[in-house]
Structure 1
Amino acid sequence: MRLVQLTVPTGKRETILEELDERGIDYVLTDEESNRGYTAVVYFPLPDPAVEPVLDELQDVGVDEDAYTVVVDAETVVSRRFEALREEYENGDVETDRISRQELQSEADSLTPTFAVYAIMTIISAVVATAGLFLDSPAVVVGSMVIAPLIGPALGLSVGSVIDDEELFRESLRYQIIGILLAIGAAAVFALLVRVTNIVPPGLNISTVGEISERLAPDLLSLVIALGAGVAGIISIATGTAVALVGVMIAAALIPPAAAAGIAIAWGEPSAAIGATVLVLVNVLSVNLAGLLTLWWAGYRPENLFSLGETEQRVRRRVLGLAVIVLVFAVFLGAITYSSYTVSTFEENANEEAELLLSEGEFAEYQLLELNVIMDESYPFIGPQRVVVTVGGPPGEASPELADRLHERINQHTDEEVDVQVRYVGLVER
């Protein structure tokens, strides 16, 4: 429910009141003095889905954008006429629960801080995320998402496109581009500082840190996260629910991979930075694409119906452009996913071959203790580089033939030859 406070322009009092009476809307009128040609203020309650059509109709009868209009939440309205009004506008579809176009625009503006605050908070969140990645601490990484001010620009671009507010669109686009550059740059500078001051162990292999490595070789599930964040973000802003929590979800899709890209740059591994950078780009584009589609589906349109056709064409072009770019990146992520799948399959096959070989009669005295597949560092398309097989058996030396047979059977499952190293552990029965 909303309470609308509307200033009445000189000469429009009777017209506005007649419009409200025709709609069956209860109102209270107070006379006011103003230096801008307004003689009164009218207060009237409305169900959420009625705000946009009623304000549009009042604008059609002469209430222009210069009029002072305030829309606030109303906790409770007790009125038979209001209940009838609710039954008229609340028909159970998606437009029933959404806020008005006017409120949506204000909400998108309010979620975007000033540029100085946005830049500072983005840098801080990127630095905190970088520290969390080095510490391999999911809790610290989540903390970095909470302070990231990304929800406003991420959703403002979609809102500006759909309601034909090109100024909001351009500002949100600029914020997003600068935000990505700031996040990656701040992470790279901080990671370089950490490296040269030996805060982390010298010679640290970043691929061995779980929180970092998973973002250097992302897969298609990352795309699902970004699309979900975009849809949830728009639904939350359009219905006024859980906006802060969805902001954390959007930050989850952008800040940690940006920090991982900065770390890879600081470590002088540009190939490792490719996967994380692609993840950042595909996520931000997917959030915008999902936002555009969700807003249009929710029924938001520009205020001026004469610009509807032009806006619809522009939204269609932007959706098509974003979809094509996201599809290209999705193919790239699909290739990484397939690479990870082949590695996982190879590891499973290698383990199975080792167990089968050791179950044969000539090697029955041995048992498989552990099998590790060591990956190369050719990010983002990593592959097996070496297989270390730990075998236990009677005290003494292992059969020389065992290593050759393991090498032969394990390499049947890979296109490129992989080194196989056998470690023998003598077992003593007690």
Structure 2
Amino acid sequence: MTRLSDLFDVRLVQTRVTDTNRRAILDALDDVDAEYAVVDEASELNTTLVQIPVPDGAEEPLLDYLTDAGLPDDAFTLVTDTTARREVNQQLAERFVEGPSGAFGISHPEIRERALDLQPNRPTYIALAALSAIVAVSGLLLDSAIVIVGAMVIAPFAGSSLSASVGAVIDDREMLVESVNSQLLGLGVGFLGALAVTFAVKQTSFVPSGIAITRSEQVGLFLTPNLLALTIALCAGAAGALALATDLPVSIAGVAIAAAIVPSVATAAIGVVWGDVLITLGAVVLLAMNIVFINLAAYVGLVGLGYRSSLVTDTWTDVGFSLRTGAYAVLVLLFVVVVVATSLATAQYIVFEHQVKQDVETVVATSQYDELELVSVQAEYNDVNVFDRAESVTVTVTQSSGTDYPFLAETLERRISQTTGHDVSVSVRFMEYQTANQETQASESDLHSSALRSGAGSLGAFGAFARPLSAR
């Protein structure tokens, strides 16, 4: 008795051949050691139905091979999924199934189908792109990380982002172009949706128009490109490629991809409505960096899994004076320009940010600031003084005493300006805290008892009962 575990999934190709080309088709199948069955049709058409079981992914290459052997392009052909009691000839898989050269990865047709399945239909894609950006704006203005995560979950950008890399490695130009168009469309719709909602919220005073938007913690996370944001983009693209090529769930990688895209779109819209050029510019550069490196990481990931694309070779071979070649050249040139410009801007800011953090850490570590602990350093996007505006640096520190440090911001400004060569504006935010432990409680108790024994006056008694700000 045959068990289900003994059955193998195959594709059954059935094509109708005429008496004139029957011999050529069968000879072509014999040349590749294909197994097939011939069924004479009971009709006056003088035709034969040839049934060929093939491995999954080999059906289209096999039909192309048979077309070269004499099968008409308009020949009646059916391809169905079925099962067999044994594997079909693996020579067919080696010859006709395109896929990675390594041990991992699914075939070209399968990975193409998986990438296309990730993309919803166009109306749904547009709606989800707008809704995710709107939710992201709400999360940023509410300063709520949970709401921003919700925007990432409903974002539809995983399929459109990964399809470009898949199209490149399987030499599917149509898929590559469609992916680029989908990404641009989704970003445009998302930005317009975020812009409309931000404008409406500001005009109706749900959010005060005079609010210092850059002081929002969540908005501040998406103002500028940085090394951690670059890491997220690279890991998201690589994880998406790995999940896509190995038939694993892509949902988690999709959230990571959305995390690198959606909040930046919303931040750019907020910058436009608030009229802050640097917020908009920083968010746009961060968005461009994320998109470029997500696509590059996904492409490199697929190549690392063994996929080899003939896209570059075929394009070079087909070089000629034609409209299509010119269009490809323009697209490649634009992509290279975007990659170079984004990489330079990202590298420039990362160097600036690293130097700023190093300078702040050096200053705060000196003995005169022993009471301070560094919490965070936030540097605004480095515009190289294009807008004749000082770079903004915000430093947050905690202190456990009431000591004033009136010259800390000035000291940091001089140090950073000297080492980076840029004019900077430094803001320092102090956060005070109290610490209580057994030692402090014992000290307070002894002090209290001593004060009572010595008959301290009302002022002394108040001092005895006051809890110290620090206990070390």
Please tell me whether residue 121 in structure 1 is matched to residue 115 in structure 2. no
Deviations 1:132-182 (A, max 9, x none): 223333333233223222234334444555656554444333322222121
Q: Which residue of 2 aligns with 1:42?
A: 51
Amino acid at match of 2:202: R
Amino acid at match of 2:192: G
Amino acid at match of 1:178: L
State whether residues 130 and 260 of structure 1, in contact with CA within 8 Å, keep that contact through their aligned partners in structure 2: yes
Separation in 1, partners of 2:288, 2:432: 47
2:229 aligns to what SS in structure 1? helix
More divergent stretch after superposition (220-229 vs 308-317): 308-317
Deviations 1:351-400 (A, max 9, x none): 223xx1277xxxxxxxx36678897867778533688886747xxxx89x
Separation in 2, partners of 1:220, 1:376: 13
**Structure 1 residues 93 and 377: CA distance shift in structure 2, 3 A:** closer
Task: Identify which of 368, 376, 393 aligns with 1:357.
Answer: 368
Separation in 2, partners of 1:419, 1:370: 16
Deviations 1:62-98 (A, max 9, x none): 4466556676776x75426557877999999635654
Deviations 1:258-313 (A, max 9, x none): 111112222221211111111222222333444555666613447xx987822899
**Structure 1 residues 295 and 30: CA distance shift in structure 2, 3 A:** farther
**Structure 1 residues 348 and 285: CA distance shift in structure 2, 3 A:** closer
Please tell me whether residue 142 in structure 1 is matched to residue 149 in structure 2. yes
**Structure 1 residues 172 and 15: CA distance shift in structure 2, 3 A:** same
Separation in 1, partners of 2:124, 2:278: 33
Q: Which residue of 2 aligns with 1:10?
A: 17
Q: What is the correspondence of 1:337-416 to structure 2 with a 5 Å cutoff?
A: 337-353=350-366, 356-357=367-368, 368=371, 382-384=391-393, 392=401, 413-415=415-417
Separation in 1, partners of 2:67, 2:94: 24
Separation in 1, partners of 2:152, 2:430: 44
State whether residues 145 and 248 of structure 1, in contact with CA within 8 Å, keep that contact through their aligned partners in structure 2: yes
State whether residues 380 and 393 of structure 2, in contact with CA within 8 Å, keep that contact through their aligned partners in structure 1: no
State whether residues 141 and 256 of structure 1, in contact with CA within 8 Å, keep that contact through their aligned partners in structure 2: yes
Q: Which residue of 2 aligns with 1:267?
A: 274
2:248 aligns to what SS in structure 1? coil
Q: Which residue of 1 aligns with 2:348?
A: 335
Gaps of 5+ in 2: 1-7, 385-390, 418-423, 434-461, 466-472
Q: TM-score, normalised by structure 2?
A: 0.67
Deviations 1:297-354 (A, max 9, x none): 613447xx9878228997899667634532321221222223322332233233223x
Q: What is the correspondence of 1:205-216 to structure 2 with a 5 Å cutoff?
A: 205-216=212-223
Q: Which residue of 1 aligns with 2:286?
A: 279
Q: What is the correspondence of 1:14-29 to structure 2 with a 5 Å cutoff?
A: 15-27=24-36
Separation in 1, partners of 2:410, 2:192: 47
**Structure 1 residues 336 and 37: CA distance shift in structure 2, 3 A:** farther
**Structure 1 residues 115 and 392: CA distance shift in structure 2, 3 A:** closer
Separation in 2, partners of 1:357, 1:45: 78
Gaps of 5+ in 1: 360-367
Separation in 1, partners of 2:41, 2:253: 42
Separation in 2, partners of 1:89, 1:178: 36
Deviations 1:185-219 (A, max 9, x none): 21121122222333345643332333221110221
Q: Which residue of 2 aligns with 1:60?
A: 68
Q: Which residue of 1 aligns with 2:443?
A: none
State whether residues 376 and 385 of structure 1, in contact with CA within 8 Å, keep that contact through their aligned partners in structure 2: yes
State whether residues 289 and 323 of structure 1, in contact with CA within 8 Å, keep that contact through their aligned partners in structure 2: no
**Over alpha carbons, which structure has the higher Rg?**
2
Separation in 2, partners of 1:165, 1:107: 14
Q: Which residue of 1 aligns with 2:317?
A: 309
Separation in 2, partners of 1:424, 1:172: 51
State whether residues 47 and 89 of structure 1, in contact with CA within 8 Å, keep that contact through their aligned partners in structure 2: no
Separation in 1, partners of 2:107, 2:47: 24
Separation in 2, partners of 1:293, 1:306: 19
Q: Which residue of 2 aligns with 1:325?
A: 338
Task: Give the aligned CA root-mean-square deviation in angstroms.
Answer: 4.8
1:383 aligns to what SS in structure 2? strand
In the TM superposition, residue 16 of structure 1 has moved relative to its aligned partner by 4.4
Separation in 1, partners of 2:92, 2:401: 80
Q: Which residue of 2 aligns with 1:130?
A: 137
More divergent stretch after superposition (288-297 vs 140-149): 288-297
State whether residues 165 and 299 of structure 2, in contact with CA within 8 Å, keep that contact through their aligned partners in structure 1: yes
What percentage of residue pairs aligned between the two structures are identical? Answer: 31
State whether residues 339 and 383 of structure 1, in contact with CA within 8 Å, keep that contact through their aligned partners in structure 2: no
State whether residues 2 and 45 of structure 1, in contact with CA within 8 Å, keep that contact through their aligned partners in structure 2: no
Amino acid at match of 1:309: T
1:79 aligns to what SS in structure 2? coil
**Structure 1 residues 411 and 219: CA distance shift in structure 2, 3 A:** closer
Task: Identify which of 196, 201, 204 aligns with 2:211.
Answer: 204
Q: Which residue of 2 aligns with 1:363?
A: none
Please tell me whether residue 254 in structure 1 is matched to residue 252 in structure 2. no
2:225 aligns to what SS in structure 1? coil
